[in-house]
Amino acid sequence: MKELSQLLQGIPGSVTVSVNEKAKAMQAAGLDVISLAGGDPDFDTPGHIVEAAVAAIQSGKTHYPAPTKGTPDILEAIARKMDRENGIKVNSKSDVIVTPGSKWALFIALAAVVNPGDEVLYLEPVWVSYPPMIRLVGGRPVPVSLPAESDFTITEELLAKAITRKSKALLINSPNNPTGRVLSRDEVEAIASAALKYDLLVIADEVYEKLIYGDRRHYSIGAEPNMAERTITTNGLSKGYAMTGWRLGWLAGPTEIVKLAGKYNSHSVTSAATFTMAAAVAALNGPQDDVEAMRRSYQDRRDFMISALAGIEGIECQSPEGAFYLFPRFTQTEKDSVELSESLLDKAGIAATPGIAFGASGEKHLRFSFAISMNNLERAAERLERAVPRL
């Protein structure tokens, strides 16, 4: 057999997926493992959304959608949602594409703007799939490492140090996976200033925007002055609406970029499923009570875990402002994050994602998901209290 793809052979698999799958395999084998490694809400999809999908299937909406980039109903629902909630005005007919998951929306957004050798900046710690996606479309991933000591705060000065004449775009994610940070007003303004000054496109991943706690607020970069023409916003229903398995996301932005992304979409996946688009209309246009109830539950779980970790010597953990992850730093061990992850799994039956998977600035950290039941979080806290001093 001739040599297979050198590009794909050089790209690592998803650490978050592999750790979560290992934990599930151990659970299936009868071992008592508490998995804090995943990113899948433990809630069921709200009933009115399920009912809309079932009704769509029963009425024969099981063929290709027309147009394939999204039915008029879902395109209009997304455009209205972005205007109402994000302050971003888009033309539903030309500026939006519905995709099978927000991950694919990110991919085709990158494919639409990146030429071979273009540099794409991202803020680190970073979701594990950003650098591979940049490489897969021919770009060069460039990390902007944010220091844990300043709670991973972004400044225009840090951005400027990473920008070169080859810089094309910047990927941002707020609320952030893995840190739970929500970009402040000052940070959003710093990013917009740098984008305008250095002629950067911005791809904004807003998939966790429904999950924000306390008095923090979500700011969409595409709503900033002069940023609409250089911002691609991606989003989806997986996290806020507990719809990970439905695979429904979207991207929205400047017409010329969306048109190119549409070409990639049509020659690859063709479209998202028609009946999931009907479900998405019900999600976006329908009652939001279930979304708020889930958010409140996550906030309660966050508060419990922050309080529990504060009592364990050897762990430092900032309270996340959004998403459903903790990113604690382990301060009294010589082990690196991979060794920490392995030790916790072997000695305490806790599956966690090593911080190095999210970039160099994530070393000595682990990512814990609190998108699991309070009962399991209580059990995990007890195990951590016993195990951490022995790490």
The pLDDT tens digits of the residues spanning 232-255 come to: 999 999 999 999 999 999 999 999
The residue ranges of every structural domain in the chain are 6-45+289-390, 47-285
Torsion-angle region of 226 (φ positive above 0: left; ψ -120 to 50: alpha; else: beta): left
Say which residues have a Cβ less than 8 Å from residue 147's Cβ, sequence separation at least 6. 361
- Looking at residue 391, its pLDDT comes to 80
Q: Minimal CA–CA distance to 193: which of 216, 176, 165, 170?
A: 170
Would you say 126 and 154 are in contact if contact means Cβ atoms under 8 Å apart? no
Which pLDDT tens digit goes with each residue over 315-333? Answer: 999 999 999 999 999 999 9
**What average pLDDT does the segment 185-213 reach?**
98
Alpha carbons 240 and 84: distance in angstroms, whole number: 17
pLDDT classification of 305: cutoffs 50, 70, 90: very high
pLDDT of residue 254: 98
Chain mean position to CA 59: 33
Query: Which residues fall within 8 angstroms of residue 64, CB to CB, at 6 or more apart?
Result: 270, 271, 274
Task: Please report the pLDDT score of residue 21 as a whole number.
Answer: 79
For residue 38, what pLDDT is reported? 83
Percentage of the chain lying above the pLDDT 90 cut: 88
When comparing pLDDT for 32 and 208, which is higher? 208
Task: pLDDT band for 26, please (50, 70, 90 cuts).
Answer: confident
Residue 214 has pLDDT above 80, yes or no: yes
> What's at 326, amino acid-wise?
L
Q: Are 185 and 151 in contact (CB under 8 A)?
A: no
The mean pLDDT of 94-103, rounded to a whole number, is 98
Q: Is the pLDDT reported for residue 13 higher than 80? A: no
* 19 has pLDDT over 80: no
Tell me the pLDDT band of 365, cut-offs 50, 70 and 90. Answer: very high
SS3 assignment, position 91: coil
In this structure, of 22-36, 251-265, 318-332, the range with the lowest mean pLDDT score is: 22-36
Give Cβ neighbours of residue 107 (< 8 Å, ≥ 6 apart): 133, 136, 137
- Tell me which H or E stretch contains 35: strand 34-35
- To the question of domain 47-285 being in CATH 3.30.230.10, the answer is no
Average pLDDT over the chain, rounded to an integer: 95
Q: Rounded to the nearest 5 degrees, what angle is found at the Cα of 48, between the Cα atoms of 46 and 52?
A: 120
Average pLDDT over residues 25-40: 86
165-182 mean pLDDT: 98
Say what the pLDDT of residue 14 is.
73
Question: What CA–CA distances, in Å, run from 369 to 6, 257, 262, 305?
Answer: 33, 34, 34, 10
Question: Is residue 1 scored above 90 in pLDDT?
Answer: no
Q: Give the residue carrying structure tokens 């402002």.
A: 321
- In this prediction, residue 29 carries a pLDDT of 84
Please say whether the dihedral angle defined by the alpha carbons of residues 28, 29, 31 and 34, taken in this order, is positive or negative. negative
pLDDT higher than 80, residue 56:
yes
What superfamily in CATH does domain 6-45+289-390 come from?
A: Aspartate Aminotransferase, domain 1 (3.90.1150.10)
Pick the residue with more confidence: 197 or 345? 197
Q: What is the pLDDT of residue 22?
A: 78
Per-residue pLDDT, 246:
97
Q: Average of pLDDT values for 355-381?
A: 95
Closest to 222 (Cα-Cα) out of 324, 109, 72:
109
The closest of 218, 201, 245 to 82, measured between CA atoms, is 218
pLDDT score recorded for residue 76:
98
Instruction: List own/partner pairs for 342-345 with CB under 8 A and 24 or more apart.
Output: 343/387, 343/391, 344/384, 344/387, 344/391, 345/22, 345/23, 345/26, 345/33
CB 240 within 8 A of CB 210: yes
Read off the pLDDT of each residue in 218-243 and give the average, rounded to a whole number.
98
| This prediction's pTM | 0.95
